[in-house]
């Protein structure tokens, strides 16, 4: 079994376990705390799921490095993305939805080897939809291969917008993009927005504050299915120092760059 297949088998097993634990946790009260601001939440489940994944990754792949949301992985400054195999882990992407909606959140993992995205997993737990990709083999939802993305321009598709309060300048950009597009949609999980783009339900997603673990799986899923992720000036994403990001079909990405 190749290393990629070995990781794939393990990751899917771990994701099943995580989903079962998360669903079980919804039967009782969550322990919710705020982090940097009143709508930046963390729960006991974010921490538990991350700790479980980090333990498993460290046990099976002791040489690898881990970038993760809640602090159980390595420090960002110690990560050598160009030299090592690096795992990006977001135990619950869309924690606000997890707490307030009990749906529309995802468990996310991505593995990069020497800076190249090899495999990605975005698991929409409550819908039981696992979006995953292995580099060069296409994007799947569960066992179903997704068709490649059409290169749809903004005017023929929907725009997925940021879910938080934005500055005037950001609101103006979003309004301008919405005007060009058919309309605007917002789910509140960067990972699920990436799957929406990969499957063609939206043609672009703009976010102002993504973290490495938010963007690493989406980058693989979207590029694998024919889309483009860049910073606002068209530069490639710097995974360890993330800036505002445009994800889109090739045409929609370019259209948005021109509006900035």
* Between 86 and 187, CB nearer to its own copies: 187
* Between 25 and 201, CB nearer to its own copies: 201
- Distance, C-alpha 97 to centroid of its chain: 15
* Between 56 and 186, CB nearer to its own copies: 186
Give, in order, the Cα–Cα distances in Å from 106 to each of 85, 114, 192.
Answer: 23, 26, 7
For the CB of residue 221, give the shortest distance to its own copies in the complex, in Å. Answer: 17
Q: Give the burial class of 166: count Cβ atoms within 10 A of its Cβ; 0-12 exposed, 13-18 middle, 19 or more buried.
A: middle
For the CB of residue 85, give the shortest distance to its own copies in the complex, in Å. Answer: 34
* Between 10 and 99, CB nearer to its own copies: 99
Residues 6+ apart with CB under 8 A from 107: 15, 18, 19, 22, 49, 90, 91, 92, 93, 121, 122, 123, 125
For the CB of residue 209, give the shortest distance to its own copies in the complex, in Å. Answer: 12
* Between 38 and 75, CB nearer to its own copies: 38
For the CB of residue 40, give the shortest distance to its own copies in the complex, in Å. Answer: 10
For the CB of residue 109, give the shortest distance to its own copies in the complex, in Å. Answer: 24
- Both structure tokens of 34: 């705020």
As a whole number of angstroms, the distance between CA 116 and CA 149 comes to 21
**Footprint on this chain of its own copies (rule: CB under 8 A):** 38-39, 96, 100-101, 103, 155, 157-158, 161, 163-166, 171, 175, 178-179, 182-188, 196, 201
């Amino acid at each position: 079994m190749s290393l990629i297949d070995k990781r794939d088998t393990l990751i899917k097993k771990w994701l099943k376990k995580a989903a079962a634990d998360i669903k079980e946790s919804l039967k009782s009260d969550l322990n919710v705390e705020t982090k940097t601001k009143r709508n930046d939440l963390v729960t006991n489940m974010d921490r538990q799921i991350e700790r479980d994944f980090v333990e498993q990754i460290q046990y099976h792949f002791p040489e690898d490095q881990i970038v993760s949301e809640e602090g159980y992985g390595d420090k960002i400054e110690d990560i050598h993305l160009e030299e090592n195999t690096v795992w990006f882990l977001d135990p619950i992407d869309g924690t606000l939805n997890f707490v307030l909606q009990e749906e529309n959140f995802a468990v996310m993992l991505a593995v990069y080897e020497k800076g190249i995205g090899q495999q990605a997993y975005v698991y929409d737990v409550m819908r039981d939809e696992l979006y995953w990709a292995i580099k060069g083999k296409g994007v799947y939802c569960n066992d179903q291969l997704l068709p490649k993305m059409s290169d749809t321009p903004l005017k023929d598709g929907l725009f997925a917008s940021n879910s938080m309060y934005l500055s005037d300048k950001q609101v103006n950009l979003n309004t301008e993009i919405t005007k060009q597009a058919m309309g605007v949609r917002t789910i509140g999980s960067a990972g699920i927005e990436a799957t929406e783009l990969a499957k063609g339900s939206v043609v672009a997603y703009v976010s102002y504050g993504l973290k490495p673990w938010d963007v690493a799986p989406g980058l693989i899923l979207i590029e694998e299915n024919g889309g483009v992720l860049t910073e606002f000036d068209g530069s490639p994403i710097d995974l360890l120092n993330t800036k505002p990001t445009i994800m889109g079909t090739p045409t929609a990405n370019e259209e948005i760059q021109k509006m900035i």
